[in-house]
Amino acid sequence: MAGLYLHIPFCRKVCYYCDFHFTVSFKQKQRVLDAIKKELILRNEEFQSISFDSLYFGGGTPSVLNQEEWVELFQCIHLHYKIQSTAEITIEANPDDLTNNYLQELKENTPINRLSIGVQSFDDRFLKLMNRRHTAGEAMESIKRAVKAGFRNINIDLIYGIPGMTADIWKYNLQVFSELNIPHLSAYHLTIEPRTVFAYYQKRGRLDIIPEEESSEQFEYLMNFLSDLGYDHYEISNFALPEYYSRHNLGYWTGEPYLGAGPSAHSYYNKQRRWNISNNTKYCDEIENGGENYFTVEEINDRIAYHDYLITAMRTKWGINLEDIRTRFGEQIFQHVNMSAIKFKAENLLIQQQDYLILSKRGKLIADYIIREMMLSDQES
């Protein structure tokens, strides 16, 4: 498995919770797209031996691209990279971009076969609070249009733990989701990130975060509700019907190589992590002038690799493999993991199944804490 990720850094509107790299100015859109294509060409020799089984267009809002722009991007990708005929090809989209014409053109002119629709809420009050540009009704209709256009592999994003969100409101959101018969859900707890509008509001007392107990109850209800519907909770924030796991995200979580192109995009390959500058103008300047100051490279040693593995694998339903840890990272880290896990197993937060350590339902509520506790200290190698 290997993934190809393209970051499309354009949005029509600022969402108040978002800290991803984007701009609402489209003045440099063509310039950025040309630079992304040039970066793909510059890096193709590095990935000549790799056959990609997933392509993912994130952002930003990739659905702001028109059909001509999509065609040109795919022409460049297929000319310079090996893409498997069965590859999963996903674009993130806003509901109001998914008109009948747009969906039909995607079907006819591109190989896109999976949509990830940024719904966030089926309640207009919370969409307005987050400064989303669509309504709940538009979100529902966009999903129905996508299915009618022939898209079956669909994910939607929902956010819980939003200020003012009660248990009943969250239950309503999940009930609407269930009625739409979508095979995949990504559900995220609202996080107040620095340098966002919500962070500004919180600092000035204009945003009250809901109590942790209520957030936990919403997450527990989410797990139980979707389990009863037959969805597999295969990663802390992700639920899927059989055969509908996100192949691209699975690649991230299982340590497969991936190539990221575009401003702020990350790559992981050959014991190196690489990330591009989060500045559209500087990114384009460097690409156009043949420079290399648009990215940073980090060498991955055993300590970093173990932490990467722990952070990603522990969040999945498969957990971490103890024998794999011993083989990849050595006896000392293997023993550290066993010792660190003792108290969590005793408290039924971690479950051991043969060679695997897996988060229990209770463990999932405090997954970040457990992961931090199992990391190596500065004194450990």
Tokens coding 193: 């990130």
Report the share of the chain in percent with pLDDT over 90: 97
pLDDT band at 379 (very low <50, low <70, confident <90, very high): low
Average pLDDT, the chain: 96
Q: What is the rounded average pLDDT of the residues 253-269?
A: 95
CA distance 345 to 322: 14
- Three-class SS state of 161: coil
Q: Is the pLDDT of residue 362 over 70?
A: yes
pLDDT reported for residue 1:
82
- Interior angle at CA 214, CA 352 and CA 206, nearest 5: 130
Q: What is the rounded average pLDDT of the residues 98-108?
A: 98
Q: What is the rounded average pLDDT of the residues 347-356?
A: 97
Higher pLDDT, 209 or 279: 279
Q: Is the pLDDT of residue 378 over 90?
A: no
Task: Note the Cα 316 to chain centre separation in Å.
Answer: 14
Spatial strand order in the sheet of 295-299: 232-235, 238-240, 184-189, 153-160, 114-120, 82-93, 51-59, 3-8, 258-261, 266-269, 272-276, 295-299
What letters, b where the CB count within 10 A reaches 16 and e where it falls short, cover 111-150? ebbbbbbbbbbbbeebbebbebbbbbebbbbbbebbbebe
Structure letter (DSSP) for residue 181: T
Phi first, then psi, for residue 254 (nearest 5°) are -105, 10
pLDDT band at 381 (very low <50, low <70, confident <90, very high): low
Q: What is the rounded average pLDDT of the residues 156-183?
A: 98
pLDDT reported for residue 251:
93
Identify the structural domains of the chain with CATH numbers, from first to last. 3-253 (3.20.20.70), 302-373 (1.10.10)
Closest CA to 60 of 7, 111, 103, 101: 7
Say what angle helices 322-329 and 331-346 make with each other, to 10 degrees.
Answer: 150
Element (DSSP H or E) covering residue 256: none
pLDDT band at 304 (very low <50, low <70, confident <90, very high): very high
Higher pLDDT, 118 or 46: 118
Please check whether residue 356 is in contact with residue 345, taking contact to mean a CB–CB distance below 8 angstroms: no
Q: What is the pTM of this model?
A: 0.96
Q: Which residues pair with 58 in a beta bridge?
A: 7
In Å, what is the CA distance from 376 to each residue of 12, 102, 298, 310, 355? 42, 49, 19, 11, 20
Q: Is the pLDDT of residue 134 over 60?
A: yes
Q: Is the pLDDT of residue 380 over 70?
A: no
In Å, what is the CA distance from 285 to each residue of 163, 278, 292? 41, 13, 10
Q: What is the rounded average pLDDT of the residues 345-361?
A: 97
